[in-house]
Structure 1
Amino acid sequence: MRTVLRRPDFRLLFGGLLASMAAESILLLALAVWVKELTGSDGLAGATIFAIIAPMTVAPLVGWFVDRVRRRPFFIAANLVTAVLLTPLFAVRDRADVWIIYLVSVLYGLAYITLSALLSGLIRQLVPADLLADANGVLQTVRQGLRLVGPLAGAGLYAAAGGWLLTGVAMAGFLTAAAVVGLLRVDETQRPRRQPRWSTELVAGLRHLAAEPALHRALLGYGLGSLVMGFSESLIFAYVDQGLRRDAAFVGVLVTVQGVGGLVGGLLSPAVVRRVGEVGTLATGVALFGPAALALAYPNLWLGFGAVLLAGVSLPLTMVGLHTLIQRRTPPGLIGRVAAASEAVVSGPQAFSIGAGALLVGVLDYRLLFVAVGLATLLASAYLWHGRTLTPPAGARPPVPLPSPRRPVDHDVVAVRRRPGR
Structure 2
Amino acid sequence: MGALIDIGPLRTAPVFRRLWIGGTLSGFGSQMTGVAVMYQVWQQTHSTAWTGAVGLAQALPIVAFGLFAGALVDRTERRRLYLITRVGAAVCSALLAVQGFLGHLPVPGVLLLLAVQACFGAAAGPAARTFLPRLLPAGDLAAGLALNHISFQAAMLIGPALGGLVLAWLGVGGCYLVDALTFGLAIYGAIGLPAMPSAGGAPGIRAVGEGLRFIAGHAAVRAALLTDLAATLLAMPISLFPLINAERFGGDPRTLGLFLSAIAVGGVTASVLSGTFTRLGRPGPVMFAGAAVWGVALAALGLVPNPWLGLGCLVVAGAADTVAVVSRATVVQLHTPSPLLGRVAAAEQIVGSAGPDLGNLRAGLVAGAFSGTAALVSGGVLCVAAVALIRRSLPQAGSPNGRA
1:282 and 1:384 in contact (8 A); partners too: no
Percent of aligned pairs with the same amino acid: 25
Is 1:271 matched with 2:276? yes
2:61 paired with 1:55 = yes
How far the C-alpha of 1:350 sits from its partner, in A, is 4.1
1:103 aligns with 2:103: no
1:136 matched to which residue of 2?
A: 145
Matched-pair contact (CA < 8 Å) for 2:221–2:331 = yes
Q: One-letter code of the match for 2:297? A: A
CA distance in 2, matches of 1:210, 1:353: 23
1:279/1:388 contact within 8 Å kept: no
d(CA) in 2 for partners of 1:248 and 1:353? 23
Partner of 2:41: 35
**Residue-by-residue CA offset, 1:75-96 (whole Å, 9 max, x unaligned):** 2222111111223211245665
| 1:27/1:96 CA distance change after superposition, 3 Å | closer
Q: Please state if 1:71 is matched with 2:78.
A: yes
Cα separation, 1, equivalents of 2:254 and 2:332: 36
8 A Cα contact 1:77 1:178, kept in partner: no
Per-residue CA deviations over 1:35-54 (Å, capped at 9, x if unaligned) read 11222223322321332222
Whole-angstrom CA distance in 2 between matches of 1:76 and 1:156: 31
8 Å contact from structure 1 (residues 141, 263) kept in 2: yes
Task: Provide, for residues 52-91 of structure 1, a one-character-per-residue CA deviation record: whole Å limited to 9, x for no partner.
Answer: 2222212101111111111122222221111112232112
The number of equivalent residue pairs is: 392
Larger Rg: 1
Residue 86 in structure 1 maps to residue 79 in structure 2: no
SS at match of 2:151: helix
CA deviation vs aligned residue, 1:263-307 (integer Å, no higher than 9, x gap)? 012223453143362322321221121221122123312211211
Q: Distance in 2 between matches of 1:205 and 1:369?
A: 34
CA 1:124–1:303 in 2, change beyond 3 Å: closer, same or farther? same
CA-CA distance at 1:137 after TM superposition: 0.3
Q: Distance in 1 between matches of 2:232 and 2:363?
A: 12
Please, what TM-score do these two structures have when normalized by structure 1? 0.86
More deviation, 19-28/351-360: 351-360
Give the CA deviation at 1:318: 2.2
Residues 346-355 or 55-64, more deviating: 346-355
Q: What is the distance in 1 between the residues matched to 2:154 and 2:77?
A: 30
User: Helix, strand or coil for the counterpart of 1:86?
Assistant: helix
Q: Structure 2: give runs of 5+ residues left out of the alignment.
A: 1-5
Query: 2:370 & 2:281 partners in 1: Cα distance?
Result: 39
Query: Cα offset for 1:385?
Result: 4.6
Task: Identify unmatched segments of 5+ residues in structure 1.
Answer: 398-420
1:296 aligned counterpart, secondary structure? helix
Which residue, 164, 168, 174 being the options, matches 1:155? 164
Go from structure 1 to structure 2 and tell me whether the alpha carbon gap of 1:155 and 1:111 turns closer, same or farther (over 3 Å shift).
farther
1:183 aligns with 2:192: yes
Moved more, 346-355 or 283-292: 346-355
Structure 2 residue 373 is matched with structure 1 residue 364: no
Which position in structure 2 is the counterpart of 1:417? none
Counterpart position of 1:319: 325
- CA 1:364/1:385 → structure 2, altered by over 3 Å: closer, same or farther? same
AA in 2 matched with 1:239:
I
Q: CA offset at residue 144 of structure 1?
A: 0.5
Question: Is this contact kept in 2: 1:38–1:95, CA < 8 A?
Answer: no
Residue 304 (structure 1) aligned with residue 310 (structure 2)? yes
Alignment partner, residue 3 of structure 1: 8
Q: How many angstroms apart in 1 are the aligned matches of 2:47 and 2:291?
A: 29
Give the partner amino acid of 2:184.
L
Q: Does residue 1:288 correspond to 2:293, yes or no?
A: yes
Alignment root-mean-square deviation, CA: 2.3
- Post-superposition Cα deviations, 1:330-388, rounded to whole Å, max 9, x if no partner, equal 11121111111122245555444322322221120221222111211212332455459
Distance in 2 between residues matched to 1:228 and 1:250, nearest whole Å: 25
Find the aligned partners of 2:341 and 2:184 in 1 and give their Cα distance: 26
Distance in 2, matches of 1:121 and 1:258, equals: 27
The one-letter amino acid paired with 2:94 is: T
Q: Is the 8 A contact 2:244 2:372 kept in 1?
A: yes
Give the partner amino acid of 1:3: G
Query: 2:220: which partner in 1?
Result: 214
Q: Does the Cα contact within 8 Å between 1:149 and 1:256 map onto a contact in 2?
A: yes
TM-score w.r.t. structure 2 length? 0.89
Q: Structure 1 CA distance, aligned partners of 2:90 and 2:368?
A: 34
Larger displacement relative to structure 2 (294-303 or 334-343):
294-303
Cα drift, residue 187 of structure 1: 4.9
Q: Which amino acid is 1:247 matched to?
A: D
Contact 1:133–1:270 (CA under 8 A) maintained in structure 2: no
Q: Aligned pair in 2 of structure 1 residues 78, 268: CA closer, same or farther (>3 Å)?
A: same
* Contact 2:229–2:352 under 8 Å retained in 1: yes
CA contact (8 A) 2:284 2:401 kept: no
The answer for the alignment partner of 2:3 in structure 1 is: none
Higher helix share: 2
| Alignment check: 8 A CA contact 1:234 1:357 kept | yes
Q: Distance in 2 between matches of 1:229 and 1:24?
A: 22
- 1:339 and 2:345 matched: yes
